[in-house]
Structure 1
């Protein structure tokens, strides 16, 4: 029987968010397949570089410790190239892949080409629950 679940080494990612992603709950029996699927789900998050688990036997049952190592999630971008008319064009942007510590991606870019354009997007893959999210993009 699982008596305690601990999340450790998370700095920017919220503990409540990580807890909402894992299937294992206090009071359940210990299941190694669930532990492995939880760690795999955590590793697939953009803000998490590596995840692992530890199982400790206590007097009350099993204590599960999930450990995470986080990625640097603010990524700038800059591209330049030439157009068909031999003019220089560029695109500059920035993206944050773990906004608010909840796995929300926010980004924007500006493109200077024959026509100026810009775009912005937000993606919250786990906005409603761990299976349903929302993404909105705007581009001119």
Structure 2
């Protein structure tokens, strides 16, 4: 008899939780304070989408992902209640993303060699790293580096 009452109590508790959590739907997602990084790019790499239930774990994971982007120095979120739904505001502070570099070293023949270059880590505002360099070694060399980790989707890139 106790077992049946316990099952009924658990079922009632789950029903109440599902009824009260049903109204926590995301109505709008806003990205603010981004100047160079495109809003569409940020929305494509976050996991939270409009129409989903509000999930604090997804919000925290999105913030971690945004902070790992080379073009973003800091990210935060705010949750605003709009009638029975929620509005999520992501805020970002961007990094300076054009980084020059200079390396020098010696060759096997004890000559001084060097490499001079520059890399832009947020090309087109889409997290694409594009770099060029000149290298003076035994031969003169030129190079171009491209890295687009989210070119196709969140899991496939170049």
So what's the TM-score if we normalise by structure 1? 0.90
Q: Which runs of 5+ in 2 are unaligned?
A: 1-24
Bigger mean CA offset, 16-25 vs 54-63: 54-63
Q: Which residue number in structure 2 is paired with residue 48 of structure 1?
A: 72
CA offsets, 1:1-41, max 9 Å, x none? 11111100100000000000111111111100000111111
Distance 2:58 2:106 in 1: 51
- Structure 1: any 5+ residue segments left out of the alignment? 135-140
Matches within 5 A, 1:1-140: 1-134=25-158
Aligned residues: 134
Distance in 2, matches of 1:100 and 1:2, equals 29
Question: Which SS does the other structure have where 2:122 is aligned?
Answer: strand
Please state which structure has a larger fraction of its residues in strand: 1
After TM superposition, where is structure 1 displaced by more than 2 Å over at least 4 residues in a row? 80-88
RMSD: 1.2
**Larger Cα-atom Rg:** 2
Q: Measure, in 2, the Cα distance between the counterparts of 1:96 and 1:65.
A: 27
Q: Which has the higher helix share?
A: 2
